[in-house]
Amino acid sequence: MIKFPVYNLEGKKIKDIDLSEDVFGAEANDALLHQIYVAQYANRRQVLAHTKDRAERAGSGKKPWRQKGTGRARVGSVRSPIWKKGGVIFGPTKGRNFKKDFPKKMSQRAIGVALSGKLADKEIVIVDSLKMKEAKTKAMSKSLEALKMKGSILIAFSKNEKNSKRASQNIQRVDNIDVENLNVFDILNHKYLAVSEEGVKIIEGKYKK
């Protein structure tokens, strides 16, 4: 087991807890983290660029002029790609798919590796509870300052602490997430991870071997 300090929202150490080595003591594996990070990044990608082909362009379907005898080049539609306001050939379309699949066990293992790395770098802060008497932004901001976290922060809330999520939504460089949805992409994209004792139990229950 790994001993780790627990603080309150005033920044004072109150006790130590034991952390599972299966989750918080995993060996470093940069290749695994890179593979899962890239896959999760691709799965979040939104396809925005889209060009209309000849079937999607507005215009009559009638043949502009007869095939022969006019002296002009033959043409079958005003929506031809070689005409102005015609369809686009080989342009980007919304039908593109950037999704990447990966085994669930690989993802679970990667989360353990990411959490272990954060713990080794002392970039995880565990508090006794994230519940607040008053869910106000100012109070949450003071708590983060007292816990001495500087830079980007990810706060993982349990279901019982969801009322406190509102207090963290308008703080610069602070994001929140449900602890059940913790993932490699968000962990690695933030300098610090803050979680409560209850959140730690949920994480260990979900990812412990």
**CATH number, residue 191:** 3.40.1370.10
Domain shared by 161 and 192, yes or no: yes
Domain shared by 85 and 114, yes or no: no
Domain shared by 64 and 35, yes or no: no
Domain shared by 63 and 133, yes or no: no
84-110 in b/e form (b: 16+ CB < 10 A) is eebbeeeeeeeeeeeeeeeeeeebebb
DSSP, residue by residue, 143-208: HHHHTT--S-EEEEE-GGGGGGGGGGTTSTTEEEEEGGG--HHHHHTSSEEEEEHHHHHHHHHHH-
For residue 203, CA distances in Å to 91, 132, 182 come to: 44, 21, 9
Domain shared by 123 and 20, yes or no: yes
Residues spanned by the domain of 76:
48-97
Express each pLDDT in 136-188 by its tens digit. 999 999 999 999 998 999 999 998 888 888 889 889 999 999 999 999 999 99
Mean pLDDT of the chain: 92
Domain shared by 196 and 109, yes or no: yes
CA-wise closest residue to 192 among 140, 157, 147, 161: 147
Give 126's strand partners: 195
Domain shared by 34 and 106, yes or no: yes
Domain shared by 69 and 87, yes or no: yes
Residues in the chain with pLDDT < 50? Answer: none
Domain count, the chain: 2
